[in-house]
Amino acid sequence: MKLQERVILPRTAWKLADIFILCLLFALLSCRVASLGDGGAGAASVAALVCEAWFTFVWILNMNIKWNPVRFHTYPENLSQRMDELPAVDMLVTTADPELEPPLMTVNTVLSLLAVDYPDVDKLACYVSDDGCSPATCYALREAAWFARLWVPFCKRHDVRVRAPIIYFASRLEPELAGDTFSDEWTFIKSEYDKLVSRIESADEGSLLRHDDAGEFTEFMEAERTDHPAIVKVLWDNSKSSRTGEAFPHLVYVSSEKSRKHHHHYKAGAMNVLARVSAVMTNAPIILNVDCDMFVNNSQVVLHAMCLLLGFDDETCSGFVQVPQRFYGKLKDDPFGNQMEVLREKLLGGLSGLQGIFYLGTGCFHRRKIIYGVAPSSFAAVKHEREGSLSYEDLRTKFGASVELVESTRNIYSREIPPKPMVNISSCIQVAKQVSSCNYETGTHWGQEIGWSYGSMAEDILTGQRIHSAGWKSTLLDTNPPAFLGCAPTGGPASLTQYKRWATGVLEILLGQNCPIIATIFKRLQFRQCLAYLVFYVWSMRAPFELCYALLGPFCLFRNHSFLLKASNHGFSIQLALFLSYNIYNFLEYMECGLSSRTWWNNMRMQRIISISSWFVAFLSVVLKAIGLSKIVFEVKSKDKSTSDGDPSTHENTLGWFTFDSSPVFIPMTSLAILNIVTIAIGVWHHATFWMTTGNHDCQNIGEFVYCGLMILYFWPFIKGLVGRGRYGIPWSVKLKAWVIVVDFLQLCRGD
Ligand SMILES: O=c1ccn([C@@H]2O[C@H](COP(=O)(O)OP(=O)(O)O[C@H]3O[C@H](CO)[C@@H](O)[C@H](O)[C@H]3O)[C@@H](O)[C@H]2O)c(=O)[nH]1
Ligand SMILES: [Mn+2]
């Protein structure tokens, strides 16, 4: 009985459209070159040529990734004969900051994980890493473990679909039939949940520590976020559950040791600590990792993933299983361009036809042995054998000094994983603390060939690329209903910062020793997969070109030049055809994904805004880092929608409004917005005086006027921001800097 099926999706019409646009791009380039030959050149035309050549390159990269889409179907019902074979799964959750990531959110994620459907709960365990070292988070999780005794059996008895209580109780009205057992139970569980919420929300760190008679939080007493010993707490040990039916997976709280002398490597560091702690406690061969805001929305998700992990004759085909990110409580029409629906359908779907989807950092099922650097047996039969018989000393250099950890890795390396006797995880706390200390990794291979890779803000993409470079493929799991839902940032600062972090991270990879081109030449990263990685890696390199192209309009209007090809030659019709077909192509993609035309327009707009702000700043920060002038830090994204902007006056209708702060990320776009307005004004004035003095009504710059007008439409949120007030207005400091830039730019343009 098959567990999965790989279906090739046809897209002939799209392929023709791809080629058509590519031809137009080449035609444009050749007209451009010809017009340069005519001597009608100017700096502007040369710059336009360079930018257009770049856009053509990006188009080709995109064509490659979209060309052969594939879908995987999964049949979990066919697993029923193989229930005993199902491997154990360690579920790892990361949280970093109790302010930006409210403990209640983490609690809901954890509860939804504890309640997933799996034939044997003894095979599941949940580990939470808290980089915030917050007693409030620890307390919230402890209370959650208590509530899980009611919640998990309730979900299973009534086959609840969404097992995050916050969503379940928000989406489900009180049952009507009062008096029957279900509604009694429902009412009881709801009231217990409400009590849990109020306990969690009223718990503040100070009072937790002060009223800690049982001494449960003593370890937090002296702890500072950036300086404290490792804290490991077993909040629920499933082996101790006495009554059957009450069982649910282990729950362990981990806050790794921090010291100012050691870098903790942000999320990658946290994941490596969780990988080690889970290794010495339960050592499951499969690892599921989710961010703290990603709750389980489909309780069968682990079974679906098993279909893809066990369903291939050659496991090389499915090194890891990634669920693409989807979001809940989405803002209407995607005003910030970060729901990424089309990207998911078109690009991630297309990747499945290549070496496989990237690792996206959350909602991913990994094989522990691959995380430990094992190569596929089809490529490295000999190596694999050798890994199995690695000496104790070898393993110790790779994995570090813990005897227990080394023993556990031996189990993972040897092909037959012996059924592990049920351990008493509470007895492993000392070892767990040892492997979470900050110098544990010193001199080992953690963060390099083993575990989550260090050296990029996009540790997920880098780690996935390492796995693909070893020759593994990966599979995309997209279930209906969606498997996990997370939250997308709202507001200008959060959205732009997230894009900035990603663009910074991937540019770090491209320019560093992990460059995918090197991996294609010397390792097993497939050529087309390498090109697919490049689509994302060149994000921030697109910024200078986009910026330059956006500056051409104002520049030409100001100098009374023209960079657009003229109506007198073919170039004009090619430009027009390209503009129309590109936009129609995009529009149809949005329609095909079932999105509104408003969503399309918002995304077009955000695409310009993101490349000129986030990606440009990312580009600059990588350059500054390269010359040693600055450092790059992981900026955790705020996830609390109701309070993140700190303004109680938030209304439904202002939810999608762009918000600003004084971050430098807003400077380039603000300058451009001002520049376009100023130059249109100057242009009109120029032409008016020219008409008046000469009586000549020919306008050479119609194209440039239209172009700048279009820019103003694209940059509309910023135009509104120029006059807006409060957080909807661009702060004075940013406006001032932007004006300085605009004046300097115009000064430069004038210079002869
Ligand atoms: O020092 C840190 C910083 C972050 N995190 C965790 O990392 C996760 C992702 O951080 P978030 O601020 O939510 O960033 P997103 O932009 O939502 O993250 C996306 O992009 C990241 C890479 O940039 C990936 O790691 C994530 O999985 C992916 O969801 C969260 O669970 C954090 O708690 C830590 O554990 N320690
Ligand atoms: Mn996130």
The atom of ligand 1 lying closest to the CA of 460 is 25
Q: Cβ(266) to ligand 1 under 6 A?
A: yes
The atom of ligand 1 lying closest to the CA of 95 is 33
Distances (CA, A) of 530 to 273, 378, 534, 538: 30, 21, 6, 12
Determine what percent of the chain falls in helix, strand and coil, rounding each to the nearest 5.
55, 10, 35
* Cα separation, 439 vs 92, whole angstroms: 22
Between the CA of 98 and the centroid of ligand 1 the distance, in Å, is 14
The atom of ligand 1 lying closest to the CA of 457 is 23
- Under a CB-based contact definition with an 8 Å cutoff, are residues 127 and 91 in contact? yes
pLDDT digits (tens, 9 = 90+) for 330-339: 888 998 888 8
pLDDT digits (tens, 9 = 90+) for 364-419: 999 999 999 999 876 655 554 555 567 888 899 999 999 999 999 988 887 655 55
* Cα separation, 339 vs 489, whole angstroms: 9
Q: Cβ(94) to ligand 1 under 6 A?
A: yes
Confidence of residue 82 (pLDDT cuts 50, 70, 90): confident
> Is the peptide bond prior to 648 cis by the omega test (within 30 degrees of 0)?
no
Half-sphere exposure (Cβ direction) of 550: Cα atoms closer than 13 Å: 30
* Cα separation, 500 vs 21, whole angstroms: 29
Between the CA of 113 and the centroid of ligand 1 the distance, in Å, is 18
How does the average pLDDT of the chain come out, rounded? 89
Q: Is pLDDT at 206 greater than 70 in this prediction?
A: yes
Residue 8, helix vs strand vs coil = strand
pTM (2 decimals)?
A: 0.93
Q: pLDDT value at position 631?
A: 78
Average pLDDT over residues 58-77: 96
- Degrees to nearest 5, angle at CA 633 with 544 and 351: 60
Q: Cβ(267) to ligand 1 under 6 A?
A: yes
Can you give the residue ranges of every domain in the chain? Answer: 85-311+373-450, 536-647+655-750
Q: Cβ(101) to ligand 1 under 6 A?
A: yes
Neighbours of ion ligand 2 (CB under 5 A): 291
The atom of ligand 1 lying closest to the CA of 271 is 35
Q: Is pLDDT at 153 greater than 50 in this prediction?
A: yes
Say which residue the tokens 């989406």 belong to. 171
* Cα separation, 254 vs 426, whole angstroms: 13
Confidence of residue 244 (pLDDT cuts 50, 70, 90): low
Q: pLDDT value at position 711?
A: 93
**DSSP H/E element including 364:** strand 364-367
Q: Cα–chain-centroid distance for residue 361?
A: 6
Between the CA of 637 and the centroid of ligand 1 the distance, in Å, is 7
Average pLDDT over residues 68-78: 95
Beta carbons within 8 Å of 569's beta carbon, 6+ residues apart: 31, 35
The atom of ligand 1 lying closest to the CA of 489 is 17
Per DSSP, helices labelled H in 4-102 are: 12-37, 43-66
- Under a CB-based contact definition with an 8 Å cutoff, are residues 424 and 237 in contact? yes
Lowest mean pLDDT among 71-75, 247-251, 714-718, 746-750: 746-750
Closest-CA residue, ligand 1 atom 27, reads 361
> Nearest to residue 292, comparing CAs of 96, 495, 491, 499?
96
Q: Cβ(460) to ligand 1 under 6 A?
A: yes
Residues recorded for the chain: 752
Q: Cβ(361) to ligand 1 under 6 A?
A: yes
Q: Cβ(488) to ligand 1 under 6 A?
A: no
Average pLDDT over residues 204-233: 87
Query: Mutate which of 293, 339, 636, 641 to test ligand 1's pocket (most atoms within 8 Å of Cβ)?
Result: 636
Q: Cβ(354) to ligand 1 under 6 A?
A: no
- Degrees to nearest 5, angle at CA 733 with 729 and 736: 100
Closest-CA residue, ligand 1 atom 17, reads 637
> Nearest to residue 93, comparing CAs of 115, 82, 108?
108
Distances (CA, A) of 598 to 162, 595, 604, 673, 698: 30, 8, 10, 22, 36
Query: Residue 43: what residue type?
Result: A
pLDDT digits (tens, 9 = 90+) for 577-616: 999 999 999 999 999 999 999 999 999 999 999 999 999 9
Between the CA of 291 and the centroid of ligand 1 the distance, in Å, is 6
pLDDT digits (tens, 9 = 90+) for 504-551: 999 999 999 999 999 999 999 999 999 999 999 998 899 999 999 999
User: Which of left, alpha, beta for 129 (phi over 0: left; psi -120 to 50: alpha)?
Assistant: beta
Q: Cβ(292) to ligand 1 under 6 A?
A: yes
Helix axis angle for 403-413 and 266-281, nearest 10°, is 80
Q: Is pLDDT at 238 greater than 80 in this prediction?
A: yes
Q: pLDDT value at position 174?
A: 64
As annotated, the active-site residues are: 131, 460
Between the CA of 345 and the centroid of ligand 2 the distance, in Å, is 20
Binding-site entries: 101, 131, 267, 291
DSSP 39: T
Between the CA of 123 and the centroid of ligand 1 the distance, in Å, is 26
Written as one string, the DSSP assignment of 236-300 is E-GGG--STT----EEEEEE--B-TTS---HHHHHHHHHHHHHHHHT--SEEEEEETT-EES-TT
Closest-CA residue, ligand 1 atom 19, reads 361
Around Cβ 747, how many Cβ atoms within 10 Å? 9
Confidence of residue 676 (pLDDT cuts 50, 70, 90): very high
Per DSSP, helices labelled H in 593-658 are: 597-610, 616-626
- Under a CB-based contact definition with an 8 Å cutoff, are residues 105 and 639 in contact? yes
Query: Mutate which of 290, 362, 502 to test ligand 1's pocket (most atoms within 8 Å of Cβ)?
Result: 362
Closest-CA residue, ligand 1 atom 25, reads 361
Q: Cβ(502) to ligand 1 under 6 A?
A: yes
* Cα separation, 464 vs 470, whole angstroms: 10
| ipTM value for the complex | 0.98
Between the CA of 132 and the centroid of ligand 2 the distance, in Å, is 15
Structure tokens that stand for 58 in this block: 């990006």
* Cα separation, 363 vs 116, whole angstroms: 14
Is the model more confident about 681 or about 240?
Answer: 681
Instruction: Name the CA radius of gyration of the chain, rounded.
Output: 28
Half-sphere exposure (Cβ direction) of 527: Cα atoms closer than 13 Å: 1
The bound ligand whose nearest atom lies closest to the alpha carbon of 254 is: 1
- Under a CB-based contact definition with an 8 Å cutoff, are residues 586 and 604 in contact? yes
Query: Residue 528: what residue type?
Result: R
Distances (CA, A) of 62 to 203, 347, 520, 536: 49, 8, 19, 10
